[in-house]
Structure 1
Amino acid sequence: MAGSYRRAMNTLYLLCVITGCTALVLISAVIPWAVFTRYVLNSAASWPEPLAVLLTIVLTFIGAAAGYRLNQHMNVSYFADRLPAPFRRLLDLLVQLLMALIAGFMIVWGGRLVEVTWYNTIADFPFLSVGVTYLPIPVGGVCLLLFVIERIFLGAPMDPLAQHPQAAPFD
């Protein structure tokens, strides 16, 4: 059971990374286009800025869950590292429970935000529901909660990309 859950979390992690990287690449393409249309063509496009904001929401919430899973986020562990091992484990459990609380907040309140704004539209994208644009908040919360559960019951995961022979390390 533990191996199946770990494999499922590896797959979810890779999906989060692919989603976050795709959003980042698209942001990197959209912003220069906005600059080009504004300063070279003298006719600023109206859609790049709101699209970049929407992609930033995806990058922030989905990408943050992936960063959390491999402990790639910013943290200050100076004092925690100086605690005796039993207290360190207890503190780590407390941190994981607090992260689960944050994930629950994202799921509940993000879900409500999606629900309340589902029938609103964005002026620059009238075919797109505002609720859809907020969907990364509860989705990121679910991913984060699943990663917290993994960390509590199975421990910190190894990087799944490092396990593939095709992933050559940078020298």
Structure 2
Amino acid sequence: MIRNDSAMNVLDTISRRLNRWVEGSLFVMGFGMAAIVSAQVFSRYVLNHSIYWSEELSRYLLVWLTFLGASSAYRRGMHPGVDVLYARMPPRLRKAAAVIVHAASMLLFGVMIWYGCRFAYFVRLQISPALSLPKWILFAVVPLSGAILMVHALVRLARDVKGRGPG
């Protein structure tokens, strides 16, 4: 029993630290994206000169913000859900439903990791046109966020199985 609680505490610590890193990154990326778009608008309409790489960088930042933001929302339990039926279930059935939902989520996160890695490998030799970055770096957010989501899902599953609820 002590060993399971210890492993749970380690996994929870990893999940919290990952989420802290993700949320810091989200702030930097969101602020950077807003600054880049603002500079592009100012440059285009006031200076009559376009910053050629701003649209591509903003697009990739938005993709990273979306995937990493989903992992933070999942960690905090802020993802959208319809729980009308779930709220009316008896506790044992509710626990079973939670385990099924977490298992299905983990299956999806596994698909994100597997196919995200395969796609990143597939585009490994391509270069983005404006930024000249390898595209595998740009698409690595899919397996990265899948792995982060998997860690969060393991913590949520362990909490629901132990009956501790969200934390």
SS at match of 1:125: coil
Q: Does residue 1:140 correspond to 2:148, yes or no?
A: no
Query: Are residues 1:52 and 2:62 paired?
Result: no
**Residue correspondences, number:** 157
Does 1:123 pair with 2:125? no
- The AA in structure 2 aligned to 1:115 is Y
- Aligned-pair CA distance for 1:154: 3.0
Find out whether 1:35 has 2:41 as its counterpart. yes
Distance in 1 of aligned mates of 2:93 and 2:166? 21
Runs of 4+ in 1 over 2 A off after TM superposition: 154-158
What letter is aligned with 1:150? V
More strand by share: 1
Percentage identity across aligned positions? 24
SS in 2 for 1:138: helix
Could you tell me how far apart the structure 2 residues matched to 1:66 and 1:59 are? Answer: 10
* Aligned amino acid, residue 139 of structure 1: L
* Secondary structure in 2 matching 1:121: coil
Return the TM-score normalized by structure 1: 0.87
Report if the CA contact (8 A) 2:116-2:140 is conserved: yes
Counterpart Cα distance in 1 of 2:14 and 2:110: 20
The structural deviation recorded for 1:4 is 2.0
Letter of the 1:22 partner, please give it. Answer: V
Deviations 1:144-166 (A, max 9, x none): 011111111134553xxxxxxxx
Partner residue in 2 for 1:7 = 13
Give TM-score, length-normalised by structure 2.
Answer: 0.89
Structure 1: stretches of 5+ with no match in the other structure: 159-171
Counterpart-to-counterpart distance in 1, 2:82 and 2:32: 32
Which is further off, 23-32 or 129-138? 23-32
Report the counterpart of residue 102 of structure 2 in structure 1.
Answer: 96
In the alignment, the residues of structure 2 paired with residue 13 and residue 31 of structure 1 have an alpha-carbon distance, to the nearest angstrom, of 26
CA root-mean-square deviation: 1.2
Q: Distance in 1 between matches of 2:124 and 2:63?
A: 16
**Distance in 2 between residues matched to 1:27 and 1:54, nearest whole Å:** 9
Change in Cα spacing, 1:157 to 1:83, as seen in structure 2 (3 Å) is closer
Shift of 1:18: 1.1
> Do the aligned partners of 1:120 and 1:129 also contact (CA within 8 Å) in 2?
yes
Contact 2:109–2:147 (CA under 8 A) maintained in structure 1:
yes
